[in-house]
Structure 1
Amino acid sequence: MKKIILGLSTLCLIAFTSCKENAAKKIDENNVAAAAVRDAGSSKLPVLKFEETEHDFGEIESKTPVETTFKYTNVGDAPLVITNIGTTCGCTVPQNWSREPLAPGDTGEFSVKYNGSGSGKVTKQITVTANTEKGSEIVKITAFVKPDPNAAVKPAAKAAK
């Protein structure tokens, strides 16, 4: 048994050492230069900067639709591409943003409609997905939604006996 293990070990040692080549001979200097240029350019990223990151509608009546516009600037070194703008519910709808690349220094905007659902203090997040370093940015809308004065009043629950 010892001879078999010793024989297999010797065979494996010969197989692994006989295929050894000098890896330094395989390096192509043109590839190294191209990679250096590529890596230097990859550190340039767009940076998304908003004029305001939170908009407060103040007090609004229940079910009253309101709208605001978020303006932004690409303050980075590469074109900005917004791939999606989403929310967590259907009561807040982002729209009208450009899907074309935004050059460094240029500005853009998108609008957000809120249908006035809910009651009391309401905060909604809008997630802007883009090719920035973080990958997404968050803006918010807030409002204090007053109850609908025309809504039917629910009867009070009967006290338990």
Structure 2
Amino acid sequence: MKSIKLLSLAIFCNIAFSCTKKVEGSPIADNIDSTQATAVTNALAQEEQPEDELLKEAKEKPLTTVAFSETDHNFGEIKKGEKVEHVFEVTNTGKNPLIISNVKPGCGCTVPDYTKEPILPGKKGKITLHFDSTNFDGAVNKIADVYVNVEKAPVRLTFSANILP
């Protein structure tokens, strides 16, 4: 039964995301690594919570203000198949606790990690985006929307890379 569920998740990921690994001559379930499995799990969880609900949840908290160390990162040239990550630093510049409700990547090839606890005024948190370049060639641009309790949510983070063979 577990294999059927994993196979179903893999098929869903293949259909829903162009970033998943293509399979030739072997069972899909045998070709899913932990990053892809996490991406599938995150995608399913995010599909259950529509974007307008995420935005409503973020706005229900007392609003504050936020500053990012950067909102765009360029990995430069990386080799196809390389897995890279980047940490975006978040600072609460307001008077209420900053709450990151969710980080929703635009693609299953990107897996987010982020500070789950409220970030007190003046304190810092982080959002890490993990990117798997396995299924890409050439220039790529990716996004992740950050749902936080600020006036102009979601905040969009972006990254780019040039994938070499």
Aligned positions of 1:9-158 closer than 5 A: 45-95=63-113, 97-116=114-133, 117-147=135-165
In terms of fraction of residues, the more helix-rich structure is: 2
1:77 and 1:144 mapped to 2: Cα distance?
Answer: 40
Equivalent position amino acid for 1:144 in 2: N
Equivalent position amino acid for 1:89 in 2: C
Percent identical across equivalent pairs? 38
1:144 and 1:59 mapped to 2: Cα distance?
Answer: 5
Equivalent position amino acid for 1:106 in 2: K
- Quote how far apart the aligned CAs of 1:45 are: 2.8
1:132 and 1:105 mapped to 2: Cα distance?
Answer: 15
- Quote how far apart the aligned CAs of 1:112 are: 1.0
Kindly report structure 1 stretches of 4+ aligned residues shifted beyond 2 Å. Answer: none
- Quote how far apart the aligned CAs of 1:72 are: 0.9
Equivalent position amino acid for 1:111 in 2: T
2:63 and 2:106 mapped to 1: Cα distance?
Answer: 27
Question: Structure 2 length normalisation: TM-score?
Answer: 0.59
Count of residues in correspondence between the two structures? 104
2:69 and 2:115 mapped to 1: Cα distance?
Answer: 17
Equivalent position amino acid for 2:121 in 1: P
Structure 1 residues without counterparts, runs of 5 or longer: 1-43, 148-161
Rg larger for: 1
Q: Paired residue for 1:22?
A: none
- Could you say what secondary structure the match of 1:132 adopts? coil
Deviations 1:78-124 (A, max 9, x none): 111110001111101111x2222111111011211100131111010
Structure 2 residues without counterparts, runs of 5 or longer: 1-61
- Could you say what secondary structure the match of 2:98 adopts? coil
RMSD value over aligned CA atoms? 1.6
Question: Structure 1 length normalisation: TM-score?
Answer: 0.61
